């Protein structure tokens, strides 16, 4: 991945839900061009942060054997901007319409108590080893959950 858009995982329950944080920092290169003089985190990157959070939930719940790949956005609404200095609280819940090889999630991103994104995502489960080194991802997950250092 070029961008890791989840800075911390605060809570997770395998096969159920996950909560994480995205800190929007002025030093992120995408803010230089979106938009010059008025930096705003692109909404599609908030959607990607939710998708990555789903990947982390699937990885942790499968002993780092699986990852979630987004292939459908069923619904998505944006409700304002995430700006430099904001901390976006992300929450994702597994929906009952999920199957053994596909997952459906409902997610929300909040800054304070204000909604920034609400989305329903669907995607495939793929072997993590086909994409990344599972052990490296296990170490990164441990760091993101603050269970041990990298």
Q: Which domains occur in the chain, in start order?
A: 8-141 (3.10.129.10)
Whether the predicted pLDDT of 149 surpasses 80: no
pTM: 0.95
Q: Comparing 37 with 21, which gets the higher pLDDT? A: 21
Whether the predicted pLDDT of 62 surpasses 90: yes
Whether the predicted pLDDT of 34 surpasses 90: no
- Given 19, 34, 102, 138, the catalytic residue: 34
* 34 tagged catalytic: yes
**Which CA distances in Å does 76 have to 8, 20, 31, 33?**
23, 19, 22, 23
pLDDT score, position 150: 44
pLDDT score, position 148: 62
DSSP string, the chain: -------EEEEEETTTEEEEEEE--TT-GGGGTSSTTS----HHHHHHHHHHHHHHHHHHHTTS-EEEEEEEEEEEEE-S---TT-EEEEEEEE-TT-BTTEEEEEEEEEETTEEEEEEEEEEEEEEGGGTS-HHHHHHHHHHHTTSS--
């Amino acid at each position: 991945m070029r961008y890791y858009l989840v800075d911390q995982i605060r809570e997770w329950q395998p096969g159920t839900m996950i909560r994480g944080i995205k800190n929007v920092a002025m030093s992120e290169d995408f803010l230089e061009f979106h938009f010059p003089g008025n930096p705003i985190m692109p909404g599609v990157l908030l959607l990607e942060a939710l998708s990555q959070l789903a990947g982390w939930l699937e990885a942790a719940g499968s002993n780092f054997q699986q990852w979630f790949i987004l292939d459908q956005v069923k619904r998505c609404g944006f409700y304002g901007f995430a700006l430099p200095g904001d901390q976006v609280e992300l929450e994702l819940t597994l929906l009952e319409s999920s199957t053994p090889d596909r997952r459906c999630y409902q997610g929300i991103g909040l800054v304070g108590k204000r909604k920034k994104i609400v989305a329903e995502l669907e995607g495939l489960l793929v072997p993590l080893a086909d994409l990344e080194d599972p052990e490296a991802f296990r170490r990164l997950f441990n760091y993101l959950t603050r269970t041990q250092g990298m």
